[in-house]
Structure 1
Amino acid sequence: MALSTDSSGRTVALICAAGGGLRAGAGAPKQYRPLGAQPMLAVAARLFLDHPDVAELRVIIGRGHDDPYRDAMAPWLGHPKLGEPVLGGATRQASVHAGLQALDRDVDIVLVHDAARPFASAALVSRAIAAARAHGGAVPGVAVVDTVCAVAADGERGATIDRAGARALQTPQAFRHATLLAAHARAAAEGREDFTDDGALYAWAGHRVVVFEGEARNVKLTTSDQFDDDLLRRAGAEFLARGDVRTGTGFDVHAFTAGDHVTIGGVKVPHGFGLSGHSDADVVLHAITDAVLGALGDGDIGAHFPPSDPTWKGADSAQFLEDAVTRVRAAGGVIAHLDVTVIGEAPKVGPHREAMRARIAEIAGVAVGRVGVKATTTERLGFAGRREGLAAMASATIRLPFKDDLA
């Protein structure tokens, strides 16, 4: 189980999977149809089960869906984060209301996601949680790239709508749980049953909703033509479509100094010494940052955060890795995998490995399964063997949009 780094109240995800999927054509409801080797619902669920800041996942299902649900979620039944399914209502609004009512009162942030959006990323979930914590209500949106116009009842084309200020909204949408629950209760009491979007309902109740950056890959599978095998292969391979696979390496070393702990992998580990460095001397995050920058071909950590600059004295090294990951995203890329080996006789990494993986995953906005943390000694040889300091070597694999500009 991934360790949650959420210290401000629990974050729980709801997946809406109660619909009949009629627009998807004949066959099983779309959420139970195969997407590669697994049903679409199972693919969507894994995102939240793997995410370090999501404490629990509840799936809202339709009446009579008990058996399809169990079959689809077979890989995850028994997972410590997966709660019992919730029976939904006749509309999406009623289903979400039922899901909210089923949650414990200690839930702070609730994420509402559609099972029909199986391609969302861990980074998007992280942005949703951060935006909800900052603003109370937040929905992801992507810029509209098509020309949009109004259409009259008889089909005649109307005025073109300015797309500059328009966004196509997505899920997961994120809200303060108590506030969204109260908004749903008010809408139900007043007979408002026409909301198809929780952001709209939240705003109707008088609360502020912000739009944060969504993802083009986060498409919603709705109509029968989208379930064409070739189209699904293309959509499911969106990650693979970033065909420019890059690998970078990083290495860092810091000497021991007076202190009572070392910070490695973003985790404070008790030790008889500290580590000497201009920032917090986190050899793990420094090595990973250099590996990411190396894969991107964008210098090294010293070029972006010079040790001669007093700004970075004692700084949390998480911001160095965050900056490198932001540079990858700005280039249209994604982090595929991060791997690091700590080199030293002590302290022992094993007891803190999962906490380090969770923290690195949180900083990078990826699933914990995309982070590896290992440790080794030098058989008492060299500075590490003499317990004079710690070193770390890392590798990073990223994917960038392929451009035919390679020499």
Structure 2
Amino acid sequence: MQPQDQSIAVIVVAAGSGTRAGGLPKQYRSIGRRPILARSLGAFMALPAIGRIVCVIDPAFEAEYRTAIDGLADDPRLTEPVAGGATRQASVLAGLEALAPFAPDLVLIHDAARPFVAPVAIARLIDRLAAVPAALLAHPVVDTLKHADADGRVIGTRARDGLWAAETPQGFRFAALLDAHRRAAAEGRTDFTDDAAVAEWAGLPVAVVAGEPGNLKITSLADLEAADRRLRMEEFLALGDVRVGTGYDVHRFTDGDAVVLGNVRIPHEAKLEGHSDADVALHALTDAILGVLGEGDIGTHFPPSDMRWRGADSAVFLAEAARRVAARGGVIAHADISIIAEAPKIGPHREAMRARIAAILGIGVDRVGVKATTNEALGFIGRREGIAAIATATVRLPFPT
């Protein structure tokens, strides 16, 4: 029977406290704006051959678990979590017992704190299990190994020939590993540091499979910070097509008692005339973003001739421009608006505008600038006949393939 014809289950061990990383258990911390646990699960969910996935967790952190798997919970292969034990070994046994009623042919055991495991390496591990009852991803030791005493003095050098550093996932024929874990528990053996060691103790042949570079385990705060920097740099390089767009809009005053600027209603002796709510700030910014994408202007997508947009909230227009950026795989890096008006005063409302614009775009407030100036009593703005706005948008897009 070939591995692709077998039922394959995965146990992701996420029951540890992760105290060396400080604060919240590391598997629930985010790197590159995504929880570590979600990244680890995603590697297995990318493989159609995987039929069932169970996480072993500390029930005290079930709320954090639910938050971490948001967006993944709809995958029917992900079962309800299992409560872990006092040791990693006990947690794995709990996961195996939860899978026992389903009797999968193969089981892969993975540490949640290894979020960079590559699906291609997982596939190699599964293929190897066609010929052996147990196998693990590993990489050969390349550094010179020193043996030191309790005081840190070197007392010997160890040969590194034939030495491999174990990784996860580790793969097994399910029935054999369950039996080995049950026997170890019955005999009071709780000192095994990985599942390959349990299999070795039970007399199962274990093979090593070369992993992929970068399958690092996050254990300390320094590891966490390094992983976050790595992902942010990868994202930065992936979105290397940096574009800047500009937009301009103007609306005249008409009878009314308030103007809408930056999605904020400001009491005034007049209102701005327009087919929608006449928010010159959002109109200018919408045009700037659409210009970055080369997708026309606000009139192209929301023509004044369409009565659907009569009196519309201009946040709808800006949100659509942001959606188009996301659909292209891009991000809005910065938005900046200059409002030109003699009145009303913008300063008291500036922070509310920034907050509303940031919320509409789905970016941080620190990425939104709102400025205001007068026209020194010159021209139609100086005569208080209307308000104008100029906007600039910076967008990062993936390079075309």
* TM-score class normalised by the smaller sequence: 0.5 to 0.7
Which residue number in structure 2 is paired with residue 102 of structure 1?
A: 98
Calculate the aligned-residue CA RMSD, in Å: 2.4
Distance apart, 1:224 and its partner CA: 1.8
Shift of 1:195: 0.8
- % same residue: 42
**Residues 8-407 of structure 1 correspond to what in structure 2 (within 5 A)?**
8-25=5-22, 27-103=23-99, 104-228=101-225, 231-236=226-231
Q: Distance in 1 between matches of 2:68 and 2:205?
A: 36
Q: Distance in 2 between matches of 1:130 and 1:191?
A: 33
- How far off its partner does 1:133 sit? 2.4
Contact kept? 2:3, 2:130, Cα under 8 Å: no
Between 1:110-119 and 1:215-224, the stretch displaced more is: 215-224
Asked if 2 retains the 8 angstrom alpha-carbon contact of 1:12 and 1:109, the reply is yes
Distance in 1 of aligned mates of 2:235 and 2:49: 26
**Counterpart AA for 1:232:** A
SS of aligned partner of 2:218: coil
CA contact (8 A) 1:108 1:177 kept: yes
With over 3 angstroms needed to count, the CA separation of the structure-2 counterparts of 1:235 and 1:144, relative to structure 1, is farther
Distance apart, 1:154 and its partner CA: 2.6
Judge which range, 10-19 or 136-145, deviates more: 136-145
Q: Closer, same or farther in 2 for the Cα pair 1:210/1:6, shift >3 Å?
A: closer
Change (3 A) 1:7 1:131: closer
d(CA) in 2 for partners of 1:37, 1:241? 13
Unaligned segments of structure 2, at least 5 residues: 241-398
1:221 Cα shift?
0.4
Contact 1:60 1:95 in 2 (8 A): yes
Rounded to whole Å, the distance in 1 between the matches of 2:20 and 2:200 is 28
Gaps of 5+ in 1: 246-396, 400-407
Q: Deviations over 1:359-405 (max 9, x none)?
A: xxxxxxxxxxxxxxxxxxxxxxxxxxxxxxxxxxxxxx9x9xxxxxx
Q: Matched residues in 2 for 1:114 and 1:236: separation? A: 19
Shift of 1:72: 0.5
Query: Taking structure 1 as reference, are residues 6 and 210 closer, same or farther at Cα in structure 2, changes over 3 Å only?
Result: closer
- 1:42 is paired with a residue whose SS is helix
- Number of aligned pairs? 239
- What code does the residue aligned with 2:6 have? G
SS for the counterpart of 2:11 is: strand
Q: TM-score, normalised by structure 1?
A: 0.56
Partner Cα separation in structure 1 for residue 233 and residue 6 of structure 2 = 34
Q: Larger Cα Rg: Structure 1 or Structure 2?
A: 2
Alpha-carbon separation, structure 2, partners of 1:238 and 1:198? 34
| Runs (4+) off by over 6 Å | 237-243
**Which whole-Å CA distance do the structure 1 matches of 2:221 and 2:107 have between them?**
30
Return the alpha-carbon distance in structure 2 between the equivalents of residues 93 and 11 of structure 1: 20
